[in-house]
A and B are shown apart, each in its own frame.
Chain A
Amino acid sequence: MKRISIDPITRLEGHGKIDIFLDDEGNVANAYLQIPELRGFERFCLGRPAEDMPNLTNRICGVCPEAHHMAATKALDAVFHVDPPPAAKKLRELFYSIFYATDHTTHFYALGGPDFVVGPDAPPAERNILGVVAKVGMDVAGKVLKMRKDGHNLLEMIGGRKVHPNWGLPGGVSRGINEEQRREIEARGREAIEFAKFSLQIFEAVVLKDTKYNFVDIITGGVYTHETYNMGTVDENNHVNFYDGQIRVTAPDGSEHAKYDAVNYREYVAERVEPWSYLKFPYLKKVGWKGFVDGMDSGVYKCTPLSRLNAADGMATPLAQAEYERMYETLGGKPVHHTLATHWARLVELLYAAERWVELANDPEITSPEYRVLPTETPTEGVGCVEAPRGTLTHHYWTDERGILTQVNLIVGTTNNNAPICMSVKKAAQGLIKGGKVNEGLLNMVEMAFRAYDPCFGCATHTLPGQMPLVVTIRDAQGEVIERLSQYVE
C-alpha cells in the first residue's frame, strides 16, 4: 500500500501531520490527521489555587487567550457560587466581542481569504495577504492593520494586556471602565461595524460575483460537504451568542438534537482516545461514536462559525441578521453543510461582534462601578463555557474547601472539530487522488479543507501570509520515496 505523508514544514514544532494511504488501485483507502502535541494542563493545574486559572489557561493558546480567560472566569463564578453583577457580565461580553472581531479579521484576511480573493490556483507566492492587498487595493492593508491594532489596544486597555489578559475574577472583573474609555471603545466599535460591512462587500464582489472560478459551485460542491451535527451557544431567543447562553445541537437534517446548560455537558459530549493522536475526539454521547462518518447515526459534530449559525435561529443584531438571511438564501436554505461556507459565516459573525460591541459600549450600565462582588460561599465545583472562535470551549474545575484545584477537565474549541477535520482531509484527498495520480492541486485542496476550520492545533495555520507550507512524500510499500511534491517551500 502506498502512503502519502503531508507534513507541515513546521512539523518540527509538532503541530499536525497527515498520512494518506492508497489502495492497490491507487485510490484513497484512508487518511489520518495526527496531532503530535500535548502539554498536560489538566494535570499540572492540580494543586493550584482556582483563581489562578484565568491566567494559567491563557497560556493554552496565545492566539485566543481571551477565550480561555473568559471560560475560566465563568467557571470560577460557578466554583465560588457567586453571580457577577450585570455590569461585570456586560463588560466581559464587551471585551469578548472586541476579541472576536479582531480574531475573525485575522482569519479572513490573512488565512482564509487569499484562496478566494487571489484564487485557489494562483501562484503560491501571490496566494497570501500581500496578494489580497494587490488584488483589492493598498488601502485595504491599512484598514486591516488598523482594525487589528485598535482591537488589541482596546483589549489591553480593558483587560490589562494585548496578549494574556489578567482581569477576570470570580464574581466580576478586576477593574471597570470610565466614560472616557467608553467613548473610545464606542468610536472604534462604530468603525468596526463599517469594517465588517466592507469585508462582506469584498466577499460579495470577489467570491459571490466571481465568474472565473465559480466559487459558489466550489463552496457547494461535494468535496467540501459533510452532513454532521452542528453545535453552538444560543441566547433565550435561539440567537447566536459568544459569551453566554445554552448549548444547542442540531441534527444533519436541521432538527434540534439537544439544548442544554453547559453544566450538563457530560450528558451530551464524550471524548474518544485514538492511539495515533495526542488530541482526543469528542462526539455526541447520545448518538454514539460510529467512526469518522457523516450522518444522523454518527455522533460526529462540528463547532465552527457555520455550525453556530446552523444551530441558531438567527442573529441578535439587525445588520448581521440581514446577512444571515442572505447567506442561507444564496446557499439554498438551512442547514448548510458546505465547509467552505464557514468563511462567509465568519464574516456574518464579525459583523455581529462589531454590532454587539457598540450595543454594549452604549449600555448605561457599562461604566458602573458595580463590576465585582466578593464570593461568600465555600468553593466546590463549576463549569464555565464560552464560544471560542474555533468552537465551544468548556472549563470544568473541582476544588477543595480552600479553593485548591483537585480536578480539571477542558474541552478546547478546535478539539470539537478534530473528527470532522480528519473527515474533510480524507474527502479532499479522495476527491483528487484517483488511480494513483497525485495532482499538485491536492496540496491546496487539502489546505483549503482544514483551513476553513481555522484550526488552532496548527498554530502553523495562524500564519501571516496564510500559507501552510506542505511537503508531500509518496513512498512505496518498502518506504522508498517515489515522488515528492511541495508548496510554499521552495
Chain B
Amino acid sequence: MKICDLGPLVSTMNLNDPLITALHILGNTKGHYRVVVVNEEGKVHGLIIGRRLLEILLGRRGSSIRAKKGFESVLQEPVNLFMDESYQIFPENTDAETVIKYMVENALGHVILVDQAGAYKGIIEESCILNRLRGKRFGLQTRNIMSENVRIIDPKATIRYAAQTMIDNRVRRLPVTLKSTIVGIVTASDIIRHIIRQEGKTGKLGLSDVARILDEGVAKVMSQNVHSIQPDSDAGEALDKMVNLDVSGLPVVSKEGQLFGIVSRVDFIKIAKLKGVSTIVEMMA
C-alpha cells in the first residue's frame, strides 16, 4: 500500500493569496482544519491552520502589520507572511507504514506528500487513516486513548474567551458545560465559519465586525447536538463515530453524564502505540 492511496487532496491556496482566502476555505469547507500553501508551480511552501487564524483574528498574531496598516489590511496581506513552514514533507511514493510510523513516533496529525519536483500531491491526515480503520475493533477501551485533561467553558462565555482558551491550550475544540453537564461543543472551525457567515451578510469584515462577533456568547456558535462516547466502549467505536458523524472529536461521558475526557481523531496514534504500527497498517489494508 503506497501512502498516496490514502490521502485526499485537501484545499490549497497560493502563497500570494490574501489571508482572508484561508478564512474562506476553512469557514466554508466542513471537516478541514488546514490549508496547504503552494506557489505558482504547485510546490509546497507551508500550511495555515485554524488556530493560527484565530490568533490573527484576536490580534495575537500579525500584530505589527495590524498596528501599522490596520486589521483589514492584515486580511489582504499574502498568507505567506503568516503561515507555518511544514517540516513533515515526504515523497509521494513513501509506503503507508513509514508515514504512519512517523506520525505515531512524533505524535503528528498530518504529513504532506510531494512529487519529485516538490509539487503538492496530497496530505495524509488523521481522517484518512480513520476511514481505513472503519469497523475495526482493537480490544482497547476509549478511556485508554482519551485525553483526561479537558478544558471546558461555560455557555455564558464569549466566543473571544473560547478562542483564547483554544489558543492558550493548543486545542481546537472545547466542551461547553453547565453544572457538569455537556450542553455543547465548540471548535475553531465553528468560530471561523460564524465569522465568515457574518462577512457574507454584510460584504465586509472590519475590526469592529470581528470585535462584535467575538463578544457574542459561545452558545451562538457551539453545536448543541453533542455526540459522545462512553469510556468503556471499544476505541474502534469512538473512531467510527467520529468518521460517521464527520466530527473531529467526541466527549467521553459516563452513563450518568459525567465528563471523563475527550477523544479526538489524532488519538489513533495512541492505538497504534499500544497495538503496534504494523498491526494497524495490516488492519488498514
- Say whether A and B bind each other: no
